[in-house]
């Protein structure tokens, strides 16, 4: 019971710390200045994601002390999460070259995979695959991509926070209904840490998450999903389904930009959610739509995978196909000027 009471404490710490970070940023003019690639028009404080990282990571050892979480899982989250947060904070306020960022990202991924013992056996369409060392390499690439795609998708008010809260609470429900109640704590803690920040970030945002927060959430989701795969192969598919909105939009956009020969590391406004925000002239409808898709569409499919025997890979295809249609409908990856002419 005492551990359940810690959840509102985590949310309160995140809430208070986000407010303190906002005051600090305003006092020192540490602002995100709008430019031609921004989806906002008013200078806004950033790096509020530090509050998410701090409130979540500081709670982990407490749960380890009470024997609720395995220490190898805690070390994976602590090392990768803290390292990515620090690197993101440095990039928020003093630009870090892409090559050094990627090196840091892969270092964080390697650290996490060391403590998780790499990638477990995968179950795909009823067949099991042990990829050995290749699986570890693919897992590292997966973690780095999750980190960066979450950064790419944090482009309008509230979207990254709403995604995190709905996905985490959905995962808690799946764990509970599928008999893995002991696994609920980490997503529940993360949901509370993000909820405290989200109070300040809902449209119109009073502070942004910044790379310190978005990168942290991306790699933490990746680490949690791989750890879940060690618990049950179907849980990995469930996490990938729950995160489908961000995965599909970011991956499809990246693919189209790669095919076109764009410099994919440069900032842009060609994600589907960014086009949608410009179409509706507001951030809130798009942010709420993401939450609704997670709850109404993706969560029931993930539940079918974890509790009703639906094959995970098949469930992923069912979940992603409509998301891919939406990405095409909202011009994900198209050149903005070309899309404007065609509209």
C-beta of residue 34 within 8 angstroms of C-beta of residue 193: no
- Dist CA 200 CA 210 (whole Å): 13
DSSP-derived 3-state class of residue 267: coil
Binding site for Mg(2+): what residues are annotated? 151, 211
Pairing of β 44-45 and β 31-32: antiparallel
Query: What's the length of the chain?
Result: 343
Q: In which element (H, E) is residue 137 found? A: helix 132-153
**CA 318 to CA 135: how far, in whole Å?**
25
At CA 226, angle to CA 225 and CA 227, rounded to 5? Answer: 90
Among 286, 68, 58, 55, smallest CA distance to 163 is for 286
Each of the 343 residues of the chain gets a pLDDT tens digit; together they read 578 889 999 999 999 999 999 999 999 888 887 765 666 768 899 889 999 999 999 999 999 999 999 999 999 999 999 999 999 999 988 889 999 999 999 999 999 999 999 999 998 988 888 888 899 999 999 999 999 999 999 999 999 999 999 999 999 999 999 999 999 999 999 999 999 999 999 999 999 999 999 999 999 999 999 999 999 999 999 999 999 999 999 999 999 999 988 877 777 889 999 999 999 999 999 999 999 999 999 999 999 999 999 999 999 999 999 999 999 999 999 987 655 433 3
Q: How is the chain split into domains, by residue range?
A: 2-30+44-342
Structure tokens at 303: 């539940």
Annotated binding site: 151, 211
Q: How far apart are the first and last CA of the chain?
A: 55
**Among residues 125, 100, 84, which one has the least CA distance to residue 217?**
84
Structure tokens at 333: 């990856």
Is-cis flag, bond preceding 100, omega within 30?
no
This model's pTM is above 0.85: yes
């Amino acid at each position: 019971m005492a551990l359940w009471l810690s959840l509102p404490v985590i949310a309160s710490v995140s809430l208070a710390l986000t407010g303190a970070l906002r005051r600090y940023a305003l006092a020192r003019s540490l602002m995100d200045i709008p430019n031609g690639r921004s989806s906002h028009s008013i200078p806004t404080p950033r790096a509020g994601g530090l509050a998410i990282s701090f409130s979540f990571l500081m709670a982990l050892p407490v749960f380890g002390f009470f024997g609720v979480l395995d220490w190898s899982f805690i070390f994976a989250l602590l090392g990768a999460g803290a390292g990515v947060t620090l690197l993101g904070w440095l990039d928020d306020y003093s630009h870090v070259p892409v090559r050094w960022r990627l090196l840091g990202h892969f270092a964080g991924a390697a650290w996490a995979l060391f403590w998780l013992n790499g990638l477990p056996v995968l179950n795909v369409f009823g067949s099991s695959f042990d990829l050995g060392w290749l699986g570890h390499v693919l897992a590292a690439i997966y973690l780095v991509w999750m980190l960066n795609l979450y950064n790419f998708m944090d482009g309008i008010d509230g979207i990254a926070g709403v995604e995190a809260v709905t996905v985490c609470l959905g995962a808690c429900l799946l764990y509970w209904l599928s008999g893995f109640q002991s696994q609920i704590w980490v997503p529940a803690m993360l949901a509370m840490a993000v909820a405290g920040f989200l109070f300040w970030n809902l449209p119109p945002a009073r502070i942004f998450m910044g790379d310190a927060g978005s990168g942290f959430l991306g790699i933490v989701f990746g680490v949690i999903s791989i750890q879940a795969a060690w618990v049950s192969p179907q849980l990995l598919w469930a996490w990938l389904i729950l995160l489908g909105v961000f995965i599909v939009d970011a991956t499809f956009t990246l693919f189209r930009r790669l095919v076109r020969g764009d410099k994919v590391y440069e900032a842009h406004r060609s994600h589907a959610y960014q086009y949608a925000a410009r179409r509706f002239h507001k951030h809130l409808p798009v942010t709420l739509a993401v939450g609704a898709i997670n709850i109404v569409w993706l969560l029931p499919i993930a539940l079918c995978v974890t509790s009703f025997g639906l094959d995970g890979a098949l469930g992923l295809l069912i979940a992603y196909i409509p998301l891919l249609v939406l990405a095409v409908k909202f011009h994900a990856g198209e050149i903005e000027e070309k899309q404007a002419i065609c509209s």
